Amino acid sequence: MFRHLRTGAAALTLGLLTACGGAGAGGTAGVIEYWLWDSGQQPGYQKCADAFQRQNPGLRINISQYGWDTYWTKLTAGFIADTAPDVFTDHLAKFAQYVDLEVLRPLDGLAPTSDIDDNDYQQGLAQLWKGQDGKRYGSPKDWDTVAVFYDRAALRDAGTDPAELGNLTWNPRDGGTFERLVAHLTIDANGVRGDEPGFDKDHVRIHGLASEGAGGGGWGQTQWSAFTGSAGWKVTDKNPWGTRFNLDQPAFQDTLTWYFGLARKGYMPTYAEIGGSNAIGTDKQIQSGIAAMGISGSWMISTFSKLTDAAGKKLDIGIAPTPIGPSGARASMFNGLADSVTTLSKQPENAAKWVKFMSGAECQKIIGESGVVFPARPEATELAIAFNKKERGLDVTPFTDQVTDKTTFLFPVTTNAADITALMAPRLDAVYIGSEPVSSLTRLNDQLNDLFKVAQ
């Protein structure tokens, strides 16, 4: 899951790590310090911690939860000051850099995690957490894909059957049936729809499609990745550990020309309407009536299920799959989180025991039954599907079908991640705003490739 990775001083400070040493950090004897950023997952992992402590009377888990931005800043500071936790929730956009800086301990060398079996988890998840040296630096905990959340009331008002969303197609020439629906769901200040004569694109009350920004901080995961993916485009020459980028390819640039063109037509909010680089999420845009539908990640299911209108009435939210693209298939980025042990931990074997428990069947069952995310183990994923159907009345299979139908592509894992984000974010913002053409991304592509030439 990608929560708008930040760049700047916090990321740059990582460069100081190579000059730092120390005796280690983490918890005191018998106390394992564990950090995570998702408040929605904390109750489930507390239940896991309680179960772990019952089975390991001499050990105690202390869970600390911080918001996304604070989490990474505090973790960076912890590595520098030797106050990092024993175990933390890791993200694919971060772990390559942490491996390079030698602040993650290979799990293969710790007895409790030496026998992690890739086949216990959703296909491809476990392999993502192996470095270029072949060693494992994270134990899978959950996974995510993207789909379309929509306001059922907005569809009813538009005379649209929700079943139609399952068969939508798109292309970069005219947007296909997907763009036609987006246009129809868009309403201007005078009540004229986007596909009707007299529509005023400069004064829009409800946009057909929400926007979560330009996508430069996370390879467009909840913005354009479903479209570039279904156009057959790949970020790098290989994944993981690609070294040549493909932002100069027509499949990418034509797709982004069409995608950001939706904002020019009034069908999607402009950069300014969503708050610029600090974009309000799709959930808030649908809740406030700014948008009728939008792409977001499976980690947001719980949030969407609780949305209410201004009067406090619960919104009737539906979920649909991403549209089918020029490749003939739909697509979704496939991302996963893992738990990593820090090299600063004074009790790595105990920390690894906790990591192994979190990725084991018992804890994964607890997380699945909480319905907050899709656990890494397939059997636990089924529990999450059942929970959402029974407790929330939500069919979440548009997320899981992407995995079973093998229409996913992996989150790009490369070195130089912080530098890549620092280069991409402002350039994609400029394209969204309209101050730079999509063709300018060819120059960006050259810059990204040069990062690896310098490294060599």
Q: Are residues 28 and 129 in the same domain?
A: yes
Is the predicted pLDDT of residue 196 greater than 70, yes or no? yes
Q: Are residues 34 and 138 in the same domain?
A: yes
Q: Which CATH number is 14's domain given?
A: 3.40.190.10
Q: Which two tokens stand for residue 288?
A: 């406030």
pLDDT for residue 10: 39
| C-alpha span between 116 and 254 (Å, rounded) | 42
Place of tokens 């916090």: 10
- The sheet with strand 291-297 has its strands ordered as 187-188, 204-209, 291-297, 146-151, 317-320
pLDDT for residue 26: 62
Is the predicted pLDDT of residue 278 greater than 80, yes or no? no
Residue 14: name the closest of 66, 67, 79, 68 by CA: 79
**Do the beta carbons of residue 166 and residue 149 sit within 8 Å?**
no
Q: Are residues 315 and 426 in the same domain?
A: yes
Structural domain that includes position 296: 146-333+414-455
Asked if residue 407 belongs to a domain, the reply is no
Is the predicted pLDDT of residue 19 greater than 70, yes or no? no
Asked if residue 4 belongs to a domain, the reply is no
Residues contacting residue 55 through CB under 8 Å, at least 6 positions apart? 357
Q: Are residues 351 and 438 in the same domain?
A: no
Q: Are residues 134 and 239 in the same domain?
A: no
165-184 pLDDT, tens digit each: 999 999 999 999 999 999 99
| C-alpha span between 82 and 388 (Å, rounded) | 41
Asked if residue 267 belongs to a domain, the reply is yes
| C-alpha span between 106 and 93 (Å, rounded) | 18
Indicate the Cα dihedral angle 301, 73, 226, 210, nearest 10°.
60
Q: Are residues 241 and 353 in the same domain?
A: no
pLDDT for residue 97: 87
Q: Are residues 259 and 315 in the same domain?
A: yes
| C-alpha span between 218 and 189 (Å, rounded) | 33
Residue 393, number of CB atoms within 10 A of its CB: 11
Q: Are residues 130 and 238 in the same domain?
A: no
Q: How many CA atoms lie within 13 A of 437 on its CB side?
A: 6
**Do the beta carbons of residue 270 and residue 285 sit within 8 Å?**
no
Residue 297: name the closest of 385, 369, 214, 212 by CA: 212
| C-alpha span between 251 and 432 (Å, rounded) | 18
**Do the beta carbons of residue 397 and residue 301 sit within 8 Å?**
no
**Do the beta carbons of residue 151 and residue 292 sit within 8 Å?**
yes
Is the predicted pLDDT of residue 24 greater than 50, yes or no? no
Q: Quote the distance between the C-alpha of residue 371 and its chain's center.
A: 17
Asked if residue 82 belongs to a domain, the reply is yes
Is the predicted pLDDT of residue 414 greater than 50, yes or no? yes
| C-alpha span between 5 and 422 (Å, rounded) | 10
Give the confidence band of 139 by pLDDT, cuts at 50, 70, 90: very high
Q: Which two tokens stand for residue 184?
A: 């129809």
Helical (H) or strand (E) element with 384 = helix 378-391
pLDDT for residue 25: 57
The count of structural domains within the chain is 2
Question: Tell me, what amino acid is at 156?
Answer: R
Question: Tell me, what amino acid is at 188?
Answer: D
Asked if residue 2 belongs to a domain, the reply is no
Q: Are residues 323 and 389 in the same domain?
A: no
Of 124 and 225, the structure prediction assigns the larger pLDDT to 225
Parallel, antiparallel or unpaired: strands 187-188 and 332-341: unpaired
pLDDT for residue 11: 41
Asked if residue 402 belongs to a domain, the reply is no
Is the predicted pLDDT of residue 4 greater than 80, yes or no? no
Q: Are residues 426 and 286 in the same domain?
A: yes
Read off φ and ψ for residue 376, nearest 5 degrees.
-65, -30
Q: Using alpha carbons only, give the angle 306, 307, 311 rounded to the nearest 5 degrees.
A: 120
pLDDT for residue 9: 35
Q: Are residues 349 and 259 in the same domain?
A: no
Q: How many CA atoms lie within 13 A of 179 on its CB side?
A: 18
229-271 pLDDT, tens digit each: 999 999 999 998 999 999 999 999 999 999 999 999 999 999 9
Q: Are residues 157 and 244 in the same domain?
A: yes
Q: Quote the distance between the C-alpha of residue 70 and its chain's center.
A: 17
Read off φ and ψ for residue 41, nearest 5 degrees.
-90, -15
Asked if residue 28 belongs to a domain, the reply is yes
- Compute the chain's Rg from CA coordinates: 22
347-391 pLDDT, tens digit each: 999 999 999 999 999 999 999 999 999 999 999 999 999 999 999
Asked if residue 1 belongs to a domain, the reply is no
